[in-house]
Amino acid sequence: MMRSFVTSLGSVVGLFILALAPAPHAAAQNADPPVVGRAIVRVPDAPGGVHDIDAFIAEFAQGEGIVMTIGDSMLRPAETPPFYAYLLEYPARNQVEVQLALDPENQPSSEYELSGAIVWGEALYAGEASEGKSGSAWVASLDPAHFTNQYPIDLLGLDAAHDRSTGLGVVVAIIDSGIDIAHPALAGRIAPGGLNLIDGTPNVADVGDGVDTDGDLLVDEMVGHGTFVAGLVSLTAPDAKLLPVKVLNGDGTGDGWIVAKGMMYAIDRGVEVINLSLGSTYDSAAIEDAIDIAMQHGIVVVSAGGNQNEGEGDFEEFPASKSDGMGVAATDANDIKATFSNYNDKFSLSAPGDSVPQAGDPDGWNPTKSIYSTLPGGGYGIWEGTSFSTAFVSGAAALIRAQHPEWSASLTTALNVQGYLEGTAVDIYPQNPQYADDESLGVGRLNAAAATMISPPAPALGDLNRDGSVNADDLAVMLAAWGLTHSSADLDGDGIVGPADLAILLAQWS
């Protein structure tokens, strides 16, 4: 049966609006609200590696008469330039004053940025997931076979792509609501580790808390989203590992701080791809910096374009529409823009994300025109949205990355993967002429088969120099990378090159 949720028109649209399709009568759009009493600042690095958050807090107290305290921090002195960010707390009654002080209206910079006390500052934003806005949710499927027979498989050329790469040796971070790691379709495909930033534990299960945390009279309406995304990434790159990073609760709520922190965790685990099936109408400097840092480490970052059928304007989805990563729009089985999908000239690609109802079908949906994936508890379901288009692109990025273990952890690598995917996309503007002038559906629709044809087939696991065998030369490559995080010699995907990787390499010796 369908899980259908309806919210009032007065509901506030959340920060991390998961990219799910709206119901036929979606609620009006709203800007994303702040988390009252919290802000984020990044302070500069000083000579000698010194940075001084206390100096900013003192300067702010003197200038605004508001005392802030440190709630959390992200300190990364090894980055270039070093990254020092702090979550600050202050009295809720001072919300408006803090917002205006850190992000003054009609001014490019605050006085604290101009004085050099901070690099940037911003209010922390949070809110409802898009299901609370749109009234749509997954539909349980009665036929699990649809998962491996759905229309994106042929449309994207996945069978041909898998003849050249299956994503072996690549880790994709699923930054979402968690993953059902016990799902049979995901068995053996979960990377070591994982983190729950909702409660600060290693429990990454895609479950709710039984509480209506966003006040929309619905409980845990977003449970299953991360598992659904994970299933599609795995369908596209079946031998890639998935790293679950839980930043959204059962109602789909999150905030800019924990999403940025989740990305930093994924970076430190040495992933090659980050999937962000989430978005916001607010541009977060913390997330933007996290994307930049990820790309500097060779990580491809893919974000959902959003489902409000919006172009450029007040309700663009960040980071898809404004970051240096890849933004994704949704199309249907005929390469026509999904009615719900946002469109923006900053998007990189389109990919399948549309599902079509069909009366008389046991599931109520057309099995030849719908998106199927995994759900918690070992089940399967049908859903639609740019979240799931994003998952296909992330999976395809993993296929390309697996073909090139010799590529370094650098910005060039991230841009190369993006270039392969964009350069082989299918032109869909004959079917979508109204979006052609500014290419607001990206350069075209993802073509995994063509993208994997550019390079030779992916080498065997452990063939680190791509010479066709696993031997002493590969051992030398591994030993040179011993103890490193961002290396293709991390064969088990645990985030560091060590004894477990050596054991795998020796087992593949030829």
Active site residues: 176, 225, 387
C-alpha–C-alpha distance, residues 385 and 307, integer Å: 6
Three-state secondary structure call for residue 501:
helix
C-alpha–C-alpha distance, residues 82 and 44, integer Å: 8
DSSP 8-state class, residue 280:
B
Do the beta carbons of residue 383 and residue 373 sit within 8 Å? Answer: yes
Token match 């069978």: residue?
Answer: 159
> Would you say how long the chain is, in residues?
510
Closest CA to 319 of 297, 344, 353, 351: 344
Do the beta carbons of residue 34 and residue 98 sit within 8 Å? Answer: no
C-alpha–C-alpha distance, residues 492 and 192, integer Å: 8
C-alpha–C-alpha distance, residues 100 and 61, integer Å: 14
Strand partners, 381: 140, 373
DSSP 8-state class, residue 305:
-
Q: Give start and end residues of each alpha helix (H) in 336-490.
A: 386-402, 411-423, 448-453, 472-480
98-111: buried (b, 16+ CB within 10 Å) or exposed (e) per residue? bbebbbeeeeeebe
Strand positions, DSSP E, 77-156: 83-89, 120-125, 139-140
Cα radius of gyration rounded to whole Å, the chain: 22
DSSP string, 179-234: --TT-GGGTT-BPS--EETTTTBS-------SS-TTSSS-SSTTTTHHHHHHHHHH
